[in-house]
Structure 1
Amino acid sequence: RRVDKRLKAIVQRMIELMYEHKGVGLAATQVNLPLRFFVMNPKGSPEEGEARVVINPVLSKPKTPEEAEEGCLSIPQLFGNVVRSKKIRLNAFDLNGNEIDEVFSGFEARVIQHETDHLDGVLFIDRMKEGAVEEFRGELENLASEFESQQRTGGILPDEELTAQRAAWEAAYG
């Protein structure tokens, strides 16, 4: 796939959105882009650390599980414990086409696994212990109702338009 000015502008906007919403990562799929990349800065601030772009991530098989609390910009204000690998190897590319082959541990490893899950259609609540998500059922239903309400009032595009946008991106970058 090619990286052009348009895609670089989208990446920059994703980084801005991540910081605006006090996130540490944001996957393309979270903003309706059918592309395999995410942006991240585990420090969560442009003044600390540096935002990275990770394209086509492939993670090593996880070892040494560790449970910790996670949240997500897709499901605001909900937090739950998720088991993830303490240490991973990431193979990917950056925005300039340079290969990334690095080992990450701790919180950085968790962010990478979380964002890669988004690219695979998995949310952190899908990885919570069976039954744990039940305590969020009411909040999740409220979020779904709010989303539908915003679609009806024009705050969020209707499904048909979102699908058309994704198709256009796939045609341009697929």
Structure 2
Amino acid sequence: MQLSIIHYPHPTLRIKSKPIRRVDAQLKNLVEQMFELMYEHEGVGLAANQVNLPLRLFVANPTGKRGEGEEFVMINPELQLPKGNETMQEGCLSLPGVHGQVKRPKSIRVSAFDLQGNPIEQTFDGFLSRVIQHENDHIDGMMFFDRMSEESQREIEEPLEELDAVFRGKQESGAIDSDPKLVAALKTWYDQYA
């Protein structure tokens, strides 16, 4: 199966993803594709529901470059012990061209599993902490602008409306299925992994 990044307001972006119960060769292949897409689109993180997989999984590399930095695969992550606060600009591969100031904890404790089933118990801070929190929001059905102030949200209303119009136009032309059909199609992934 060939993955591609879905754009706002695709309904999968608003679904709380389900925990993964098994890892197989196909899932490992999907993770490799997620890294390819992330690098191709110059991202630093990509959540499974951004490629229309409603599963609790994301990939990250804070450098955004293959062969540099460290690659992370986090399965069924849980975030705890937030510390400090920091506001920085964020963007999103599912919201091309949209950026905004988001306040998040500076550091976070993560409990997760890697692709080999090894537990990850680690505290992350700085930029990587932000990336992890952003991607974890995705698998909870949240977008970064949900965490922005009302005033900041007003500043990005126009580009969000443009993305919505493009998406709805593709649905009207038949290029993209209706929201109910898109959501119904997710059952395959639930049956296989969740």
Structure 1 unaligned spans of 5+: none
Unmatched 5+ residue regions in structure 2?
A: 1-20
Task: Tell me, yes or no, if structure 1 residue 88 matches structure 2 residue 108.
Answer: yes
Once residues 9 and 153 of structure 1 are traced to their aligned partners in structure 2, the CA distance between those partners, rounded to angstroms, is 32
Larger RCO of the pair (alpha carbons < 8 Å, separation 6+): 2
Aligned pairs for 1:23-38 (under 5 A) are 23-38=43-58
Taking structure 2 as the reference length, the TM-score comes to 0.85
Aligned counterpart, 1:159:
179
Identity of aligned residues (%): 53
Structure 1 CA distance for aligned equivalents of residues 148 and 107 of structure 2: 19
**Which residue in 2 is equivalent to 1:45?**
65
State the alpha-carbon separation in 2 of the partners of residues 7 and 152 from structure 1.
32
Letter in 2 for 1:72: C
Q: CA deviation at 1:92?
A: 0.4
User: Which residue in 2 is equivalent to 1:108?
Assistant: 128
| Residue aligned with 1:56, SS | strand
> How large is the RMSD of aligned CA atoms in angstroms?
1.3
Alignment-derived partner of residue 74 in structure 2: 54
| Distance (Å, rounded) in 2 between the aligned partners of 1:15 and 1:119 | 17
Aligned match of 1:72 in 92, 103, 111?
92
Residue of structure 2 in register with 1:117 after alignment: 137
Say if 1:156 and 1:15 are closer, same or farther in 2 by CA, change over 3 A.
farther
- C-alpha distance 154-9 of structure 1, shift in aligned 2 (>3 A): farther
Which position in structure 2 is the counterpart of 1:20?
A: 40
Displacement, 1:154? Answer: 4.6
Shift of 1:29: 1.3
Residue 131 of structure 1: SS of its match in structure 2? helix
Letter of the structure 1 residue corresponding to residue 88 of structure 2: A
Could you say which residue in structure 2 is the equivalent of 1:150? 170
| TM-score normalised by structure 1 residue count | 0.94
Q: How many residues align?
A: 174
Partners in 1 of 2:171 and 2:66 — Cα distance? 32
SS of structure 1 residue aligned to 2:190:
helix
Distance 2:58 2:23 in 1: 14
1:140 aligned to 2:160? yes
* Paired AA for residue 91 in structure 1: S
| CA offsets 1:110-147 (integer angstroms, 9 cap, x no match) | 00000000111111100011221111111111100111
CA contact (8 A) 1:32 1:162 kept: no
